[in-house]
Structure 1
C-alpha cells in the first residue's frame, strides 16, 4: 500500500480541537487512510495553550502518530508560536527509505519543518505537497507583520517552487498564490475543508444550554464562535450588535470561545455602550455545547479579518443557521449573498448591522436562508468531499 506522510510542527490532539489547521490535518489523515497507509509526524508542543505532550509512536484510529520532541524558539511572534523539531530529518528520512511509493504533505507557513520536509522528499525523489494555510500579512500587528513579510520575500518562494503541488483551502488564496506569488495554475489545487455532519448532531439539549446561562427561550440570539482575537475581530461583532440592540431590547450576543488579544477591548466597548449585561462570554466549551449554540442561534456573525476556511460558519449553515460574514478568505466559497447569508467588506459594521437587524426582524426568512445553506454544505463541503479531492491528488502525484 502506498504511504502518505503528513508533517506539522505542533501537537495534534483531537480532544482539544477548536477548528483551525490541526483539525484540518487530522481530518485529512483520516480520509487519506481510506486508501493509503498514513503517518503523521508532529512536534509535542501546543504553543496556544502552553501545553507539552508526551513524545512517542502510537496508533490513533488508523493513523500512525509520530510525536517528536519540539522546542519553541524565543523571540517575537510569529517565531514564538512555531516549533522546532530536530529529529524530523531522521524520522522522515527513515519513513521514505521504508516506502519508496510515498507522498510527503507538509503544512503551514513560517515553520522550519516545511523546508526540512521538502528537502528530504526531494532527496528521495518523493512527490511533495505544500499546504500554506495562507493568511495575508496585513491582518497581523506591525511587529509581527515585518517578520512575515521577510519570510514571504525570502523563504516562501523557495517552498512554493520546491513543492510538486500546492494546496489552497479557498479560492481567494488560490488567486493570491497565482497572481502575487506566481505559482503556476497547474501546480495549484483548491481543496476546501469541510464539516462533520455526524459530529454536529452530537450536541447538548438547547433548552438546557439556555437554562445553564439564564437566557430566555424567546430571546433573539446572535453568536460568534472562535477565540476573541484581533484576527477574528469580535469587536466589530460587538459594534454591529450595539447598532441593533436598542431596537431589539431582548436580543443577546454570545461569544463562544477562549479570550484572546481583543477580549478586554470588546468588554470595554460593551461597558461604555451599557450592553455588558446583554452579552455572554462562555469561554472554551466542549464541541457538544458549541454545536448547540450554532443550532439555537438566530444569526451567526463572523466579521473576521481573514479565515482560511471559516469552519464555524460552515457548521452554522449545516445546522440551518444563517450567517453574516466578511469577504475575507474561505467564507466567500460557500456563503451566497442574499441566499444563505450575507457578505460584507471587512470593517463595514454599518452594513453588517443592517443585515443583522433585517434577519432578527424576519426570523422566518432567516430560517429559510439557513435551510438553503444546509443544502449547499451537504452537497459540496463535507469532509468526505475534501477527502475525495485529496486522495485524487495523492494518486495523481504517485503516478
Structure 2
C-alpha cells in the first residue's frame, strides 16, 4: 500500500511574495505639500493685508473704546462701557444719526431710480456705446473734494448759481446752509452726482444678462417698451436692485467728504444741521474734546449699525436668490409657452397619423408577390 507523504511546495508554485513598500523620498513629500499648500500661499497676501489694514484697526479701536484715551494725555484709566454711555447720552450724536439717515434717504431713492433709467438707455443699441458708458462713470473718478467745491459754489446762499436760476423764475433764494432740509438736499445732490453713474453700470451689467428670448416673446405678444421694462427687465434684476439699495445705505451711513467740505468750517453747520455720524466722530476725536475713547465708541456703534444692515442684506438677498433660482415667467410668456406646446403636440399627432396612413396605403413586397402568384 502506498503511503502518501506530504510534499514540500516548490518555490515556483508558491504564492506571490509580499513586496516591500517603497520609501517615499523627501522630494515627493515636498511636492505633495506643495500641491496642498500652494493655493493658500497664493491667497495669503490678501489675508495678510486684511489683517494689517482691517482686522488690527478694528480690534485696536475696540480696545481704545474702553479706556479714557485722550489725544494729549494718551492712554488713561480703564472705564469699561462708560464711553458708550456718554456717547448715547449726548443729543448731538442722535442729531448726527438723524441727519445721516435723512441724507441717505434723499440720496439713495433718487439715485437708484436715476441709475436704472440711465442703464435702460445704455442698454439700447446706441452709437458710441463705450463713449456714453465711460461718460456716466466720469463723476465717480472725480475727487470728492473737487465735487464738494463745485457744488458748494452752486448751492451758495449768496450769488449761487441755483439761487440765481430760481430768481429768474420768481422764486425766493433758498438758504442752503441755514435750513436743515435744504442742506440735506444739497449734500444728497453731491452724492447722487458721484454715485449714480457707478450704480448705472452695475444695473447695465444685470440688464445685459437678461435672456433676449424674453424680449422677443414680449414683442411677439405685442408688449411695448414700457411693458417690456416693467414686466421683463425689472423682475429679472430684482436681486441687483436690492444689492445696490443695501450698499447705498451702508455707504450713506459712512458719508464724510461731502458734509465736511460743504462749508469753510467743516463742522456740520452752526446748529449742526447737516453733521453726519462720521463727521461727529471726527469732531469728537480732533475737535474740542480730543477724546479718542469716545470717538472709538462712536466708531464701534456705527460698525454695529452697519453689521445690522449687513445681516438684513444677507437675509433679503438669500430670500430673493431662493425665490429667483427658477424665476416664474410672466403670464403672457406662460400662455405662449403652453400654446407652443399644444401646437407641437398636435403637429406630432398629425405626423403620426400621416405616417400610419402612408403605411396602410403602400403595399408590402410580400402582398405584391402573393397577388402575382394568384
- Shorter chain as denominator, the TM-score bin is under 0.3
If you compute each CA radius of gyration, which structure gives the higher value, 1 or 2? 2
**TM-score, with structure 2 as normaliser:** 0.20
Choose between structure 1 and 2: higher strand proportion: 1
**More relative contact order, 1 or 2 (CA 8 Å, 6+ apart):** 2
More helix by share: 2
